[in-house]
Amino acid sequence: MLSILYPISFSISLFGLILWFYNEENPLHRRNMSTIFLGGFVAYAFSLAFADGELAFKMWILFRDLMVLGTVSTLFSFFRNSKFFFFGMFVLLIATFPFTFLKKMNNTFPQKSVTNVNKTIQSPQRALVEDNSNFVVNNLDQEGELLVDLGEKKTMRDLERIVSKYKLTFKKAFAPDDDLITDLDDYMIVNIPFNYEKDIDEIEKELLASGSVDYLEQNEIVQLTPIETIRPSKRKRAFGINDPGVQELWGFDKLRMDDLYKLLKSRKVKPQRKANIFILDTGVDSDHEDLKSNYQSYKKEYDSDRQGHGTHCAGIAAAVTNNKLGVASYAPNNDFVKVTSIKVLTDYGGGTQKSVISGMLEAADNGADVISMSLGALSNKNRKRAYARAVDYCNRKGAIVIAAAGNNNMDAAKYSPANAPGIIAVSAIDTNLQRAHFSNYVQNVPFGIAAPGVNIYSTFPKNQYKTFNGTSMACPYVAGLVGLMKSINPEIITKEVFEILEKTGKETKSTSQTGKLIQPASAIAELLK
């Protein structure tokens, strides 16, 4: 019932709003049209709120629908004084709407499931689609639903029959600088027209059976899910530094940060070079008072953050310490790390697997030592090959990749990119060293570790500071520590980093699910041996 109410109520809202604008000078008709619009929009909001789908998916649909509503109504408002153009466009809209956007809306809910994807067998010659677990995935990118890995010396011309049959369009997905160490340059992003989206399972089967495709996977949408919270009670310890915001950082107690600062000072630890921590997120406010001394601009368009998530993560990983402002991080001065941004998510917190992987390659090609990704989505396969190859590429270029375990209270092995081989996946613990109620558990991923992720106070755009929950916040806690380790020993690799973190980590009250809680002082002491 709700799936029917959703497109009908939106249509009523749209046409009511258009006629409301047209009758602006007629009080009676204007009142009637405004009533129709408001009634339709209330019904639309109700149908969207209670439809079958994840919150992140619904937020994306809401954004899409409001953009359509705003764009169309603004266009009609502009021509309302010309009856000829107005009613000409109105008739055209009525004629085309049922076959365009309304048809797309009719297939929006319930949200797509992957439970009907056929199980296939892997062979040594060709890596086929793996069996899928029974759970719902986030919506696919409507501009490119599939990532297709072409076989050696194959092109999309070899798939001409399938391309023509389903009216597929395509373009190169990734452009790594060093294409000799990866086959990601063979990947194509394939767009399926709306009329054929229902045939995606058949399209996948035909592509894999063509002999020209080594592997394919769905290009899923990823979304942020931070939760703003009330600030925790202030700590009485100053940790030997002068940043006033450390009073808000309960995590500094659990991580024994004062021991780290004492160790670095007493051992006169010097960095071999500055480690570069890349934050792949919504951008970073490069002018923030507590970040700019540690921030290195890579591209101007990445140096702003309307959403705030990326700036919050950057402060956790690399806020300037001992500057009498805001919060602090691991390095007691500006000699050890710098933080850089790559914007892989929109201002609304959405992105795709393709945008994230492209950001990973971009970071690796531009000198990343650590890549921090506080993002992800449920995966339609237990393993994501494109992510795995991207991580391998980053590792070969000298970068260690850290990702949030996810906020779904489930197995992180079903969450990408945290489930990709070679990634250090970070779960969140609360003030009592329990796994945060929302945090995914990491016992089934190769490199699972824990960090504070509840009531985390950090930087926010325009010199603000806010408190959030999430494995998004736990991830940069680990990234910042790994950045410090890489500055001291630039040659250290992921496996060695994880072994140190696990060996020196502290037991939580649910270690089997969270992994051990990082202990920075102990980790650096072990590194210095």
Would you name the residues annotated as active-site residues?
Answer: 281, 309, 472
Q: Is residue 401 a contact partner of residue 424, using CB atoms and an 8 Å limit?
A: yes
Q: What is the DSSP letter of 506?
A: B
The DSSP string of 91-134 is HHHHHHGGGTHHHHHHTTSSPPB-TTSPP----SS---PPP--S
Closest by CA to 370, choosing from 344, 398, 392, 390, is 398
CB atoms under 10 Å from CB of 514, counted, come to 31
The DSSP string of 123-186 is -SS---PPP--SSB-PPBPTT--EEEEEPTT--GGGGHHHHHHHT-EEEE----S-GGG-SGGG
CA distances 317 to 115, 140, 297, 448, Å, are 38, 31, 16, 18
How many whole angstroms separate alpha carbon 161 and alpha carbon 279? 42
H or E element in which residue 204 lies: helix 200-209
How many whole angstroms separate alpha carbon 358 and alpha carbon 184? 10
Residue 431: what are its φ and ψ, rounded to 5°? -65, -20
Q: Which amino acid is at 299?
A: K
Strand pairing report for 146-150 and 400-404: unpaired
The DSSP string of 208-261 is HHTSSEEEEEE-BEEE---EE-PPPPPPS--TTS--GGGGG-HHHHHTTHHHHH
Give the N- to C-terminal CA distance of the chain in Å, as an integer: 66
Closest by CA to 279, choosing from 293, 298, 260, is 298
Q: Which residues pair with 350 in a beta bridge?
A: 223
